[in-house]
Structure 1
Amino acid sequence: MVTRLLLQTAVWLAAMGVLLFGAAGTLAWPAGWWYLIETGVLSLWIGLWLARHDPGLLAERLAPIVQAQQSRWDRVFMVSVSLVWCAWLVLMGVDAVRLHWSPPVPVGLVSLGSLCIVVCLVMCRAVFRANSYAAPVVKIQASRGHKVIDSGPYAYVRHPMYAAALFLFVGTPLLLGSWWGLACVPVMVLGIGWRAVREERLLNAELDGYPDYTSRVKYRFVPLIW
């Protein structure tokens, strides 16, 4: 399992590197290198922790993004998200380095972007600690005894993983120095908001106790907002 984790992480980082530096047209981009190092180290930290504490969840996290158990709409969503993510990285490389469409991002905001990525990954670890069923695809994991989780971050919002993603969405373009990348964030938030609503319909229909959970935990992403 650890070998698979290392291999998939290396492939993922290499693919992002090709997109970012290919779009930038140069390897002389410190922010791009720091982004890959930061996300790579933090992802391995979480993955190795899962390998020790919850190998079943790690297997789910390493599984393909398109699976037979998924609803058709989620298969389409996951493929679309992958394409949008790649296009987003290319846009930021072109914007921040190759064509300089954006004015420079202040150093303080670049540092804030890096911090947001750390916050995202720390929040994800808290999610994985609380929820052994936090698969990347929407499905009922009956073979693993899927049940409602209402502890940890799930006591405050129904989708803490998506809440963590908000920090990644904001932090990535700030760190990479792309205002155009930041301008895309509202569309991405709308996308995961749409998925959260569709996911809840499935869980309400097929997961025992989920309707009661949604009646107790009112907010999806951010307490007192939504």
Structure 2
Amino acid sequence: MVARLVVQTVLWLASMGVLLFGAAGTLAWPAAWWYLIELGALSLWTGLWLARRDPGLLAERLAPFVQKQQSRWDRFFMAAVACVWCGWLVVMGLDAMRFRASAPLPVALVSLGSLCVLVSIVMCRFVFAANSYAAPVVKIQASRGHKVIDSGPYAYVRHPMYSAALLFFVGTPLLLGSRWGLAFVPAMALGLGWRAVREERLLAEQLDGYTGYMARVRYRFIPLIW
């Protein structure tokens, strides 16, 4: 399992590097190198922790993003996510380095971006500690005894993983110095919101106790907002 984690992490980072540096037209992009190093280190830190604490969840996290058990709409969503993700990286490489369309961001904002990435991954670790069923795809994990989780971050919002993702979406273009990358964030947030609503419909229909959980925890992503 650990070997698989390392291989998938390296391949994931390598593919991101190809998109970022290929679009940038240069390897002389310190912010992108730092982004990949930070993301890789945090991903391995979380993955190795999961390998010890919850290997079943790690197996789910390493599984393909398109699975037979998924709802059809979620398969299309994940395929769209892959396309948007690749396009986003290319746009940021073109914007920040090749064409330098964005004016350089202040060091404080770049540092804030790095901090956002760090905090988002730490938030994910808290999610994994609370929820052993936090698979990347929407499905009922009956074979693993899927049940409603209402502790930890789930006591405050219904989708804390998506809350962490929003922070990651903001942090990435800040760290890479791309204002055009930031322009993608509202659309990406809307996509997460659409998925959250569809996911809740499925869970309310198929997972005992989820309707009651929705009544107890009112907010999806951000307390007092939505």
Provide TM-score, normalisation by structure 2.
1.00
The CA distance in 1 between the partners of 2:193 and 2:102, in whole Å, is 28
Partner Cα distance (1:42, 1:154) in 2: 22
| Aligned match of 1:168 | 168
Measured after TM superposition, the shift of residue 77 of structure 1 is 0.2
Shift of 1:180: 0.4
Structure 1: unaligned runs, 5 residues or longer: none
What letter matches 1:24 in structure 2? A
Tell me what 1:186 maps to: 186
Q: Distance in 2 between matches of 1:52 and 1:19?
A: 32
The residue that corresponds to 2:53 in the other structure is 53
Task: In structure 2, list runs of 5 or more residues that go unmatched.
Answer: none
Alignment of 1:1-226 (within 5 A): 1-226=1-226
| Alpha-carbon distance in 2 for matches of 1:68, 1:154 | 27
What is the one-letter code of the residue matched to 1:186? P
Identical amino acids, percent of aligned pairs: 77
**Runs of 4+ off more than 6 Å:** none
The one-letter code of the counterpart of 1:115 is L
* TM-superposed deviation, 1:30: 0.1
SS at match of 1:222: coil
Q: Per-residue CA shift, 1:50-99, capped at 9, x if unaligned?
A: 00000000000000000000000000000100110000000000000000
Q: Deviation string for 1:3-40 (max 9, x for gaps)?
A: 00000000000000000000000000000000000000
Alignment root-mean-square deviation, CA: 0.3
What is the CA–CA distance in structure 1 between the aligned matches of 2:83 and 2:52, rounded to whole Å? 32
What CA distance in whole angstroms lies between the structure 1 residues aligned with 2:166 and 2:106?
A: 21
Distance 1:145 1:202 in 2: 17
Q: Residue type of the partner of 1:100?
A: R
| CA–CA distance in structure 2, aligned partners of residues 105 and 169 of structure 1 | 16
| Cα shift at 1:165 | 0.4
* Count of residues in Structure 1 that have an aligned counterpart in Structure 2: 226
- Partner amino acid, structure 1, of 2:72: R
Mapped partners of 2:44, 2:199: distance in 1: 27
